[in-house]
Amino acid sequence: MPTISPNKPYRVGRSRTGLGLFATKPIKKGTKIIRYFGPLLDSKKKDEDAIENKYLFELTNRWTIDGSIRENIARYINHACRPNAESDVKPRKRKVFIRAIKNIEPGEEINYDYGTDYFKAYLKPIGCKCDACEKKRKKKRAEARAERLRLKEKAERKAKRKAEKVAQEKAKARAKASGAKANGKALNGKQLNGHSLTRAAGKKATASKRGAARALQA
């Protein structure tokens, strides 16, 4: 890592995306934190216009700062969609300063918005990893988990209701079958009792006739 004067209010440290620039002292809103610098590239020169890297900072249609040099500590500042700093561009002076747009506390990472073109070219394809985007992803993941849980519980409730309905229908069928069987037994009992009573009445009548015949013979 590059050597930084202890008087400077920042240090290079490990970040979510690799290396980043962190505040070591309180930085007030509006403070010029650091200059973004490097060789000036002239787009009218083919060899310079052909240079490509992630640290090119366009000042005008003609002039671009190549910030890839190690001495340019500002190159360690990462992008953020909700930054605490911004790039203060001075096209005529061909200079760029990173300025705080919020009060930055010690230990807080310094960041600024790289712009739409850079975002589309380098960050969107791999997914922005700034705090704001990471919170959005966490929120979406939490919502997806909640939705999966909701659907699972809904399916379980539906399955439970279906099982209860099937059980009720089976119980009704068993009750109906038991009732029909009981009625059959009762009906059979009545028929048997009727035959017995008829047979008994017939025997009684026959006995009476026999008694009367004996009386006449006597």
Give residue 132's pLDDT.
Answer: 84
Q: Say if residue 21's pLDDT is above 60.
A: yes
Give residue 212's pLDDT.
Answer: 52
Range of the domain at 151: 130-205
Residues 115 and 151 in one domain: no
Q: What is the mean pLDDT of the chain?
A: 86
**Residue at 117 is within a domain:** yes
Range of weakest confidence among 25-39, 53-67, 170-184: 170-184
Assign 8 a pLDDT band (cuts: 50, 70, 90): very high
Mean pLDDT of 25-35: 97
Residues 149 and 109 in one domain: no
**Residue at 159 is within a domain:** yes
> What is the percentage of the chain residues whose pLDDT exceeds 90?
51
Residues 68 and 166 in one domain: no
Mean pLDDT of 189-202: 54
First-residue to last-residue Cα distance in the chain: 149
Q: How many domains does the chain have?
A: 2
Residues 143 and 157 in one domain: yes
Residues 137 and 45 in one domain: no
Residues 164 and 116 in one domain: no
Assign 114 a pLDDT band (cuts: 50, 70, 90): very high
Q: What is the pTM of this model?
A: 0.66
> What is the percentage of the chain residues whose pLDDT exceeds 70?
83
**SS3 assignment for the chain:** CCCCCCCCCEEEEEECCEEEEEECCCECCCCEEEEECCCEEECCCHHHHCCCCCCEEECCCCEEEECCCCCCHHHHCEECCCCCEEEEEECCCCEEEEEECCCECCCCEEEECCCHHHHHHHHCCCCCCCHHHHHHHHHHHHHHHHHHHHHHHHHHHHHHHHHHHHHHHHHHHHHHHHHHHHHHHHHHHHHHHHHHHHHHHHHHHHHHHHHHHHHHHC
Residues 113 and 151 in one domain: no
Residues 56 and 135 in one domain: no
Q: Say if residue 202's pLDDT is above 70.
A: no
Choosing from 79, 98, 126, the residue where a domain stops is 126
Choosing from 126, 150, 173, the residue where a domain stops is 126
Name the residue among 25, 77, 36, 69 with its Cα closest to residue 51.
69
Choosing from 126, 150, 181, the residue where a domain stops is 126
Mean pLDDT of 84-110: 96
CA distance 145 to 139: 10
Residues 48 and 102 in one domain: yes
